[in-house]
Amino acid sequence: MVIGPPQPKNPVLGLRPQDEPTVVPDAALVRPMSVGDLRAVSMDLLGRPPFANELEPWIGKSRDAYVEHLLGTEAFWRHWWSEQLYYFMLIDTFRPRTDDVNEVPIKLAEGRLTVRDALHRIALTPTFDLRNPGADTFVTVVMEQYCGMVVQDAARELEIGKSAYDGNETRFLGQPAENQADVVRNCVEHKSATRHFTAREYERLTGMAPDKKDLIRWSRDLHKRPHAYVTLFAEWMRSTHYDERLVRRRPKSNRLFARALHVDLLDRLPTEDETESMRNALDGLGDPRPLRSLFARLILDSSKAPVPKKKDIPDPTLWVGAQYRRLLGREATQDELRTFVTAFHEPACRPETLLYAILSHAEYQTY
């Protein structure tokens, strides 16, 4: 064993050299990215499209370079943290708002916390307790959401956990436990929790279930080295499943739609309250598309979106093509250009009208 000072971390990935991926990127990774690829990768890793000033520097660059640029950054971890809180339904009145919780993404980016530490903190927040009151609900939730267990098939373990929750000395999931904190710790540190977390994270990124052999290998390594999550994530970004994910367009969740709409029209992220207000309204509908279109209309008509005046657009064809690339991530067809430019020249048509047509189209509901 070689003993020496800690090796410096990679400034981009936040990894030590021995942790860095050694996979040679294939053609799909090193070829220039399209606007659509750039938007998809940004929404998968950051939960938003690129800001206006991020487009030009990265169009034509490789996906591999862009992924390396994003992974391990505070912005990456903020999105990751938001996704974890949503998974545990700590939203709206149950969203933790304390300083120590808000600082978790910063500490993850700086390497002061691992993903296991962060997940552990979630179940210790007062709002998690409020969300899941009582021994039966609390223990059921941590067994199911952390370990992926079906409590109906683990009734005895559930009863043991409830006994520990109530302050009785016992052995829950094979480890000593005598209080609520022990129940959480034993779940978080159990191997099944790492396996369940790895599987759901892979599916969150690629939209596909992992191969069983890969899942065993990944979860075993992550359980031993929870700081290596970003390395594992980089491997997933190089996978054929992620290549396939980029070919398929995925539906935008209501949360992602709210964030994307604000970035695309206002070039800023919505506040948490703005996101939750829009998401709440959309979540209550069986088909949220009409209300999504209404939100787009409200922002366009608010005069806050920097839309040029009609007289300030010298070449409508170029302008329409740019909107297709920016909002849909692809080139407009000749028929689309012809239709939009014809509409543009109608006296009553405003640029906002054409933007609304794109934003209310079914294609904008996906990415």
**In contact, 176 and 182? CB cutoff 8 Å:** yes
Digit-by-digit pLDDT tens for the chain (367 residues) are: 333 333 333 333 333 333 444 444 566 677 888 999 999 999 999 999 999 999 989 988 999 999 999 999 999 999 999 999 999 999 999 999 999 999 999 999 999 999 999 999 999 999 999 999 999 999 999 999 999 999 999 999 999 999 999 999 999 999 999 999 999 999 999 999 999 999 999 999 999 999 999 999 999 999 999 999 999 999 999 999 999 999 989 999 999 999 999 999 999 999 988 999 999 999 989 999 999 999 999 999 998 999 999 999 999 999 999 999 999 999 999 999 999 999 999 999 999 999 999 999 999 999 9
Looking only at Cα atoms, what is the longest distance across the chain?
79
Tokens encoding 152: 């109906």
Rounded to an integer, what is the distance from CA 340 to the centroid of its chain? 33
**What are the backbone angles phi and psi of residue 202, rounded to the nearest 5°?**
-65, -45
In a domain, 173, yes or no: no
**What are the backbone angles phi and psi of residue 309, rounded to the nearest 5°?**
-70, 155
- pLDDT reported for residue 10: 37
In a domain, 91, yes or no: no
Tokens encoding 153: 């098939």
In a domain, 274, yes or no: yes
In a domain, 331, yes or no: yes
Give the separation between CA 278 and CA 272, rounded to whole angstroms: 10
Number of domains in the chain: 1
DSSP for 186-240, written as a single string: HHHTSHHHHHHHHHHHHHHHHSSPPPHHHHHHHHHHHHH-GGGHHHHHHHHHTSH
In a domain, 69, yes or no: no
CATH at residue 332: 1.10.3130
Residue 347 sits in which domain range?
Answer: 254-365
Own/partner pairs for 95-98, CB < 8 Å, 24+ apart? 95/127, 95/272, 95/276, 96/122, 96/125, 96/126, 96/127, 96/128, 98/125
**In contact, 186 and 173? CB cutoff 8 Å:** yes
Give the separation between CA 10 and CA 16, rounded to whole angstroms: 6
Residue 62: strand, helix, or coil: strand
The radius of gyration of the chain's CA atoms, rounded to the nearest angstrom, is: 23
